[in-house]
Amino acid sequence: MANPSSTVQQAKDKAKDVASNVSNQASDLASKAGDAASKVASQAGDMANKAMNKVGETAENATSSVGSGMQSAAGALRDNLPKSGMLSSAGEHVASTLESGGRYLEEKGLSGMSDDIAGVIKRYPIPAVLVGLGIGYLIACSTRRS
């Protein structure tokens, strides 16, 4: 007959082995789940980055198109202006402003505009904050009444 204490010891050893195997399998499963989650997150980030790049590219193209349209409008305005007088000089000034604004949009695009705005804010921080507060106040007033 087998010794009861050796049978108990064997059962304890077997239980430790089973617990160790379960722990190792759980650890492997958790590691695989973490790797899968990391891969999915990486793919989602890549997809979001591609989408943002596409949106940015579309916005840049739209800005360039607006600039080109402004230049065309300036040309059409010049073609229809009177040849002399106060209306002619005022119209020429408007056409010149439209043309230079259109050229700026076409050449610089959104990224150039954001760089220029950042430069102005760095040079004049207090007026920039005051302008931002004023715009925020006006937006708040306009949405409160609606």
pLDDT digit string, tens, across residues 41-66: 888 888 888 888 888 788 888 888 88
Q: What is the pLDDT of residue 27?
A: 82
pLDDT at residue 5 greater than cutoff 80:
no
pLDDT in tens, 33-47: 888 887 888 888 888
Mean pLDDT of the chain: 85
- Decide if 92 contacts 78 (C-beta within 8 A): yes
Query: Could you tell me which of 105, 111, 108, 116 has the C-alpha nearest to residue 68?
Result: 105
Q: In the chain, pLDDT over 70 holds for what percent of residues? A: 96
Query: For tokens 């010794």, what's the residue?
Result: 3
pLDDT in tens, 99-119: 999 999 888 888 888 899 999
Can you tell me whether residue 75 is helix, strand or coil?
Answer: helix
The model scores a pTM over 0.85: no
pLDDT at residue 124 greater than cutoff 60:
yes
Q: How far apart are CA 43 and CA 2, in angstroms?
A: 60
